[in-house]
Structure 1
Amino acid sequence: MTDLRLTQYARGGGCSCKIPPGELEAVLSGLAPAQVRELLIGIEHGDDAAVVRIHGDRALVSTVDFFAPVVDDPYDFGRIAAANALSDVYAVGGEPLVALNLLGWPRDVLPMEVAGEVLRGGVDVAGQAGCAVAGGHSIDDAEPKYGMAVTGLADPAKLLRLDAGRAGLPLSLSKPLGVGVLNSRHKATGEVFPGAIASMTTLNRDAARAATSAGARCATDVTGFGLLGHLFKLARASGVTAVVEAAAVPYLERAREAVRDGYVSGGTRRNLAWVAPHLDAGATAEEDLLLLADAQTSGGLLVAGEIPGAPVIGELVPAGDRALIVR
């Protein structure tokens, strides 16, 4: 089925499928989870994964992530979804150990051999991470969906977390932005963007290891809530203001063109609306703000600290009237 366009079988795609952050926080605010004494990272600030101390210098990391197709090629879809799920473990400073597949498939519409290609992509990327894939769960679904539940290990003394940011720290970003608008264009036109696929299938392992080795203790990955959304959560949790130097932020080739041509997802616009009350954007152009809020899939790590090879895009400063400043 060389003419198969997987993205046409789902309403949304990738991390832009996420429930809007404001709606999600309203739902979670009513939950009162049981308190476990050894829970080191929970749901308080919306960190990327849960972390529980097992013993001494060993902690268990647990996360889950899945979404509808973000690209048409099933093998690439599997690779992207797996890299995205593994990223949550790296984002808290852990190393993935074992993963379970999560597959929803419209078996009366799409051949099961196509699902096999999705799973093959996931297994290949997990293998690059040194992470075993040991089964999983599947359902007959109206839309194709794929992802993983991942378990990893971390050193409790070297965790990366949202609430550990401090004024004076630089902000580093390990991947360029723009996959959201490029994926929207791909879904609408079928045009393929190899740079976006390469970015989304690149593991955040090296960036996470560099961050922990450099002594960083505050980070997040940039996914469905966009750079501004995830940075807002970090600044709020850490009690600081985050300043972004717009001209320093790297973008994928043709990302700006995609924005100008109108390929902006509803998720990206909702991201910008969510942070707007907490944002001093000065004279920043709307095009730049939309790119900064672009809903990423398998984006890079945003680290409070300098890491080799990653551009510094801003800094954390003492808390002011707004949690975010773009200049």
Structure 2
Amino acid sequence: MDASVTPIPDEPNLSLVQTTDFFYPLIDDPYLQGRVACANVLSDLYAMGVERCHNMLMLLGVSKEFTDEERDVVVPLLMKGFQDTAREAGCLVTGGQTVVNPWCTIGGVASSVCTMDKIIMPEGAKAGEVLILTKPLGTQIAVNAHQWIDIPERWEKISKITTVQEVKAAYRAAELSMARLNRIGAELMHKYKGSACTDVTGFGILGHADNLAQNQKERVSFVLHTLPIIKDLVKIAQAVGNMFQLLQGYSAETSGGLLITIPREGAEQFLKEIQEREGCPAWIIGDVIEGDRGATIKDDPTIVHV
């Protein structure tokens, strides 16, 4: 599961839902990096259908390689980004731990106390349902391509099929996507009777779909027919061979969207409402069928350029 669920002794109706994660910096802006880190920590609660986080702790590693000036600029911005995102989620950062470290890291612990009806266990998918994804794919490629702008031997491999402007636009789209909370998706899971969910991160869309399928009570499989991908990243991924395995479904994501199984009859309304509330689209990307608890991507899937 994406978060641990622990019954609270002497409180039979209550459970503690808790998760932790941390990151090395992957984008240039320390404020946005703080936001991304916090959004990703919270995402594991949202993937369990837990809409509200009651408490957050921050885990901060301050690089010993920082100069005094770098430390005094970067660290407050990391902390502010993390705190602002926690506040947006409706909770406060009440403590944590700061250490001096060879590398700069930022992460945290998110906790919520709730009744079991507020939790959607990732095991209830049924044949005939559909799969919804709430954020586009491609964040790893966007970040790498942006770094390659300043690495001539890397940039040479993609400069014939893209431009600096295209790469910067994809990078900006990835930054904003990674910094966006999955809170509304978690709310809508309850409203539209989502039956199972996970968030898409390091294993890629197919890796996480397969993990989720293996966890189902019923004998079902997932077939992905659509891949929504940030604009211009497909051609960049293809230009460097099979490095990212984007179209194969294994390109790692950071702070990715929720992958939700939901009854077909509520899916379109889910998409409409999340677009209205967030100003960002979600997509029906696959079907739940009878099967042996696995996931596949359909041959020649539909690519949606976002």
Q: Do 1:87 and 1:221's aligned partners in 2 also have CA atoms closer than 8 Å?
A: yes
Aligned pair count reads 257
The answer to whether 1:151 aligns with 2:111 is yes
- Residue 50 in structure 1 maps to residue 9 in structure 2: no
CA deviations over 1:195-226 (Å, ceiling 9, x no partner): 11110111000011001111113100111111
CA shift for structure 1 position 258? 2.6
- TM-score (ref. length: structure 2): 0.78
Question: 2: distance between equivalents of 1:226 and 1:211?
Answer: 21
- Which residue among 29, 52, 59 is the counterpart of 1:73? 29
Partner of 2:182: 204
Secondary structure in 2 matching 1:116: helix
Partner in structure 2 of residue 256 of structure 1: 234
Q: What residue in structure 2 maps to residue 297 of structure 1?
A: 254
Is the CA contact (8 Å cut-off) linking 1:93 and 1:154 kept in structure 2?
no
1:311 to 283, 290, 305: 283
Residue in structure 1 matched with residue 16 of structure 2 by the alignment? 60
Structure 1 segments of 4+ aligned residues over 4 angstroms from their partners: none
Q: Write the mapping of 1:116-265 to structure 2, written as runs, cut at 5 A.
A: 116-189=76-149, 192=168, 193-238=171-216, 239-245=219-225, 248-262=226-240
Q: Deviations over 1:43-88 (max 9, x none)?
A: xxxx110112343554321000101011011111111111110111
Q: CA RMSD for the aligned pairs?
A: 2.0
SS state at 2:215 partner: helix
Distance 2:81 2:91 in 1: 13
CA distance in 2, matches of 1:151, 1:264: 38
**What SS does the corresponding residue of 1:160 show, helix, strand or coil?**
coil
Q: Distance in 1 between matches of 2:101 and 2:147?
A: 20
8 Å CA contact 2:194–2:261 kept in 1: the answer is yes
SS for the counterpart of 1:59 is: strand
| d(CA) in 2 for partners of 1:254, 1:227 | 18
Amino acid at match of 1:130: G
Q: Look up the SS of the partner of 1:162 in the other structure.
A: coil
CA offset digits 1:242-299 (Å, max 9, x no partner): 1010xx221112221331232976xx55xxxxxxxxxxxxxxxxx521xx22101000
TM-score (norm 1): 0.74
- CA displacement at 1:163 relative to structure 2: 2.1
Q: Note the residue ranges of structure 2 that are not aligned, 5 or more in a row.
A: 151-166, 273-281, 299-306
Structure 1 pair 159–257 and aligned structure 2 pair: CA distance change class (3 A): same
Matched position secondary structure for 2:79:
helix
**Kept in 1: contact 2:13–2:116 (CA 8 A):** yes
Task: Give per-residue Cα distances to partners, 1:76-118, cap 9 Å, x unaligned.
Answer: 1111111110111111011211111111121343532211211
Q: Which has a greater percent of strand?
A: 2
